Amino acid sequence: MTRIFDDPADFADDQLAGFLDLYTDRVRGVPGGVVSYRTGTPQVGVVIGGGSGHYPAFCGTVGPGFATGAVVGNIFTSPWAAPAYSVGKAADQGKGVIFSFGNYAGDVMNFGIAAERLRAEGIDTRIVIVTDDVASAEEQEKRRGIAGDFTVFKVMGAAAAEGVGIDEVERLGRAANAATRTLGVAFSGATLPGEDEPLFTVPDGHLGLGLGIHGEPGIRDVAMLPARELADLLVDEVLKNAPPGAGRRIGTILNGLGTTKYEELFLLWGHVASRLRDAGYEVVDPEVGELVTSLDMGGCSLTLMWLDDELDPLWRADAYTPAYRKAAAPVAELRAPTADEEAEADAVVTAPEATDAARNLATTVRASLDVMATVLTDNEHELGRIDAVAGDGDHGRGMLKGITAAVDRVGAQGDQVGGAWRLARAGQAWAERAGGTSGVLWGAALESFGRALGDSAQDYPAAEVTRGVRAFADAIVELGGAKLGDKTLLDALLPFVDELEARVGDGEELAPAWRAAASVATAAGKATSDMRPRIGRARPLAEKSVGTPDAGATSMALIVTAVGSVLEGK
């Protein structure tokens, strides 16, 4: 359990401030994360990242021979696009930037958006996604990224330090990912700051096989094993998934998840090393310790990277970072960026002229956001509990952070803005603060809602509002890639939109049509209990999720019901 904090909601930001103060001689803070001071020779920027709670991943491995920068998200939550863009821009030295991160939907979307922004500014930006977790899927491209992040990041950082071009760094990163496999086990669940209970528990005398690093439980529980048999399990399962044509040299990591003692890892390593050598493998520069953690989770993981003549020297190469140091790195050449290198243009965006109708609509938007904040505050812990059954348990907190940011942003606006402008700014604030998959989806959807309405109309009849609602839903469908029946928020949202369109099309007024559609959404959200997730983090844990409704669908139903009360004047 995390005991040292002020406001749990600010834990990620507060710990980063302390980290930056501690390592100010080698890294510097930029909006959204950290970057290394530069050497005399420009190199490809390798920018890594993800949620907090995994130290030393990710900011702990920023430095010569490793990553150029790290984007820091909230606890177990992917960072949103703006910080990724900020860190990527700060890390660019004129040689291009490569984003690398684990294969999670929120990371893929947010880093993808940031990459597009950098490319639009002329910065060559590539993406290398880590997919090493053998327990999460049969096909490698569908697998999660867990402790294999470290090997992929290490290879690219070493290649960049050698001065090779971006094409080569990208190619080597993909080669490292293709050569890396990981399996983890959990002995106990992680506990979010401010919470009293872990995200999941493991039955006494058992371990969870195939855990995730965001507090996700294992794929299945198995009886606890003596150290030697646990080593055999880890080694055999990873070797079983060896890449085609793999050789006999392997870079190896035995990784602690947060509370497993180093002495336990050393003991286990003795068995792992013996088992690997007996199988005819050459163990190259093994690493044992906490490299990719999950707050206070008890457990460990074994990562193997099959080495060839290209990957071997990069795995062995020198590095010097706050949390990882190998031999003597060229620290003496580090320098701070010049003023020109740090300069960033901040675009000033002003609200367009709004009609009286648009300003009246803004009042309704503000009231709707306020009531959404109330309902999400009241249900934060229940939404987190639902999400933790087959996910990371952060849905309630993420939604509350998003709506709080949206309310704060619109509260800072004047009275002359229109409803469309207010929706768009609320969406941007939501995505910025909430992060993760739901954060970016809600942010994009609210912006689309605003664009569909505009602030120049003389009236906003029910049909026009309904058109905006459809644009809201279409944005989520397009960006998230889910469909009806995948056990996502769409399973409540799409029936709501269909019912609203049908009733408004028949001439019904907006308030009663919305109320009826909200009832349909509530029933549809509850019906997700019988579904198995087909995408996202919960997919590998599909059976565990049966009997529990989807957290996103549940929050969506709560929200449309609450907004209905505003439309009815309650």
The residues carrying an active-site annotation are 214
Helices (H), 92-226: 105-120, 149-161, 166-178
- The owner of tokens 């844990």 is 541
Compute the chain's Rg from CA coordinates. Answer: 24
Q: In sequence order, what are the residues at sequence separation of 6 or more whose Cβ sits closer than 8 angstroms to the Cβ of residue 213?
A: 54, 102, 146, 147, 184, 257, 292, 293, 294
**What does the DSSP 8-state code read for residue 310?**
T
Measured in whole angstroms, the distance separating CA 22 from the mean position of its chain's CA atoms is 26
The Cβ-side half-sphere exposure at 178, using a 13 Å CA radius, reads: 11
Compute φ and ψ for 428, nearest 5 degrees.
-65, -45
| β-sheet bridge partners, residue 182 | 133, 303
Tokens of 371: 């009531």
Residue from 92, 74, 69 nearest 15 by CA: 74
Residue from 257, 278, 98, 255 nearest 170 by CA: 98
- The owner of tokens 């409540």 is 492
Distance CA 429, CA 409 (A): 6
Amino acid present at 410: V
Distance CA 132, CA 135 (A): 9
Tokens of 464: 């026009």
Compute φ and ψ for 325, nearest 5 degrees.
-135, 130
Q: In what order do the strands lie in the sheet with 298-306?
A: 220-223, 206-209, 180-188, 298-306, 249-256, 282-289
- Which sign does the torsion angle of CA 21, 22, 27, 29 carry? negative
Helices (H), 412-489: 419-434, 436-453, 462-480
Compute φ and ψ for 368, nearest 5 degrees.
-65, -40
| β-sheet bridge partners, residue 184 | 301
The number of residues in the chain equals 570
Distance CA 499, CA 513 (A): 8
Residue from 261, 151, 259, 193 nearest 51 by CA: 193
Residue from 509, 463, 460 nearest 355 by CA: 460
Distance CA 537, CA 264 (A): 29
